[in-house]
Structure formats: C-alpha cells, structure tokens
C-alpha cells in the first residue's frame, strides 16, 4: 500500500494505492491519526488506484470516521472502482461514506 498526502486549502487529500487489508490497515490508520492529531479534520480519500479492500480496511475507516466525527470533521471518498464499491455495498457501509467520482467533486462536497 502506498500512501500519498496532499493539501488543498483546509482539506487533506490522501491517495491510497494498492490493497487496504489487515497488513496495510495499521499503517494507514497511523497516517490518518497523525493527520488528525496535527489538526486536520477534512479528509478526501482517493481510491482511484485502490485494488482491494478487506473487512480490516473497512473497520479502520470506521475508526477514523468516528474520530473525525467527534472532532466535527468529515471524510469523503472518491474514485472508488466497481469492485471496491461492491464491498462497501455488501457491508452496508455505503451509507456511512459519501462517494464522489473524482477529487474535484469530493472537494466541492466538503465546502
């Protein structure tokens, strides 16, 4: 899993490439928590290059979402491919995570 971070105004864009599973979820969680600890509260997670997400990845996202909600923050997803979207749908997580076609649409949703 590769993690790239960029900033857009008061929003942070986190691009995840590869597989979000039991092996990579702890590293992603650590990265996202560090951003929250640093005062970031508006997250766009770009999944355009994500190949796979497991239940461990979904749980990690819920943990981050709850932490952001407690800090009056928000997290949206973009670029979610059909396979990853199906996992969200099957788990019933689509209702918790707003999804947008691309970064531009996701950033507009956060304003």
Give the residue from 92, 21, 91 showing the smallest Cα distance to 56.
21
Look at residue 111 and tell me whether its pLDDT is greater than 90. no
**55-70 per-residue burial string, b: 16 or more CB within 10 A, e: under 16:** ebbbebbeebbebbee
Tokens of 4: 């790239």
CB 14 within 8 A of CB 46: yes
Q: What is the mean pLDDT of the chain?
A: 96
pTM for this entry: 0.93
| Digit-coded pLDDT (tens) for 32-78 | 999 999 999 999 999 999 999 999 999 999 999 999 999 999 999 99
| Domains parsed from the chain with CATH numbers | 2-110 (3.30.750.24)
């Amino acid at each position: 899993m590769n993690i790239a971070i960029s900033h857009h105004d008061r929003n942070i864009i986190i691009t995840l490439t590869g597989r979000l599973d039991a092996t990579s979820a702890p590293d992603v969680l650590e990265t996202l928590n560090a951003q929250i600890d640093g005062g970031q509260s508006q997250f766009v997670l770009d999944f355009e290059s994500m190949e796979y997400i497991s239940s461990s990845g979904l749980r990690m996202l819920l943990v981050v979402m709850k932490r952001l909600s407690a800090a009056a923050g928000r997290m949206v997803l973009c670029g979610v491919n059909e396979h990853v979207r199906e996992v969200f749908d099957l788990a019933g997580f689509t209702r918790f995570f707003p999804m947008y076609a691309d970064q531009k649409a996701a950033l507009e949703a956060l304003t």
